[in-house]
Amino acid sequence: MNGLKLLATGRALPSQTLSNDDMSRYVETSDEWIGGRTGIRQRYFCAEGENATTLAIEASRLALERSGIPAAEIGCVVVATSSGEYVMPSTASMVHGALALDENIPTLDVGAACAGFLYAVEVARGLLLAGGRRYALVVGTEQMSSVLDMTDRTTCVLFGDGAGATVFELDTEREYVSVQGTRSDMAIRSGCPSITQKVPMQMDGQAVFRFAAAIIPKCVQDLFAKGGRTMDDVDWVVCHQANERILDASIRRLGGKEKFYKNIDRYANTSAASIAIALDEMNEQGLLEEGQRIVMVGFGGGLTWAGIMLCI
- Between 149 and 178, how does the x/- string for binding to ligand ACO read (CB under 6 A)? ----xx--x---------------------
Q: Which is nearer to ligand ACO, 74 or 273 (CB)?
A: 273
Q: Does the footprint of ligand ACO cover residue 33 (CB under 6 A)?
A: yes
Q: Which is nearer to ligand ACO, 10 or 301 (CB)?
A: 301
Question: What are the angstrom distances between the C-alpha of 227 and each of 70, 122, 213, 270?
Answer: 33, 16, 22, 29
Among the residue ranges 29-37, 63-71, 99-107, 191-199, the one whose residues contact ligand ACO (CB under 6 A): 29-37
Distance, in Å, from the CA atom of 146 to the CA atom of 127, rounded to the nearest integer, reads: 31
Q: Which is nearer to ligand ACO, 64 or 239 (CB)?
A: 239
Residue among 63, 101, 105, 208 that touches ligand ACO (CB under 6 A): 208
Residue among 13, 18, 38, 234 that touches ligand ACO (CB under 6 A): 38
Q: Does the footprint of ligand ACO cover residue 209 (CB under 6 A)?
A: yes
**How open is the CA angle 290-293-294, to the nearest 5 degrees?**
105
In this structure, the number of other CB atoms found within 10 A of the CB of residue 262 comes to 15
Q: Which is nearer to ligand ACO, 6 or 115 (CB)?
A: 115
Distance, in Å, from the CA atom of 178 to the CA atom of 222, rounded to the nearest integer, reads: 9
Q: Is 114 a catalytic residue?
A: yes
Q: Which is nearer to ligand ACO, 205 or 217 (CB)?
A: 205
Q: Does the footprint of ligand ACO cover residue 80 (CB under 6 A)?
A: no
What are the residues whose beta carbons fall under 8 Å from the beta carbon of 190, sequence distance 6 or more?
Answer: 82, 83, 147, 199, 200, 201, 202, 301
Distance, in Å, from the CA atom of 208 to the CA atom of 193, rounded to the nearest integer, reads: 23
Q: Is 51 a catalytic residue?
A: no
Size of the site for ligand ACO (CB under 6 A): 24
Question: Which phi and psi (to 5°) does residue 62 adopt?
Answer: -60, -50
Residue among 3, 75, 301, 307 that touches ligand ACO (CB under 6 A): 301
Burial class for 155, CB neighbours closer than 10 Å (0-12, 13-18, 19+): buried
Exactly one of 76, 114, 156, 311 is catalytic; name it: 114
Q: Minimum CB separation from ligand ACO for residue 280, in Å?
A: 19
Exactly one of 20, 51, 243, 269 is catalytic; name it: 269
Residue of closest CB approach to ligand ACO: 205
In this structure, the number of other CB atoms found within 10 A of the CB of residue 184 comes to 7
Burial class for 172, CB neighbours closer than 10 Å (0-12, 13-18, 19+): exposed
Question: What are the angstrom distances between the C-alpha of 306 and each of 8, 23, 211, 295, 299?
Answer: 22, 31, 13, 11, 6
- Where in the sequence numbering do the catalytic residues fall? 114, 240, 269
The residues binding ligand ACO (CB under 6 A) are 29, 33-34, 37-38, 113-114, 153-154, 157, 188, 203, 205-206, 208-209, 212, 242-243, 246, 269, 271, 300-301
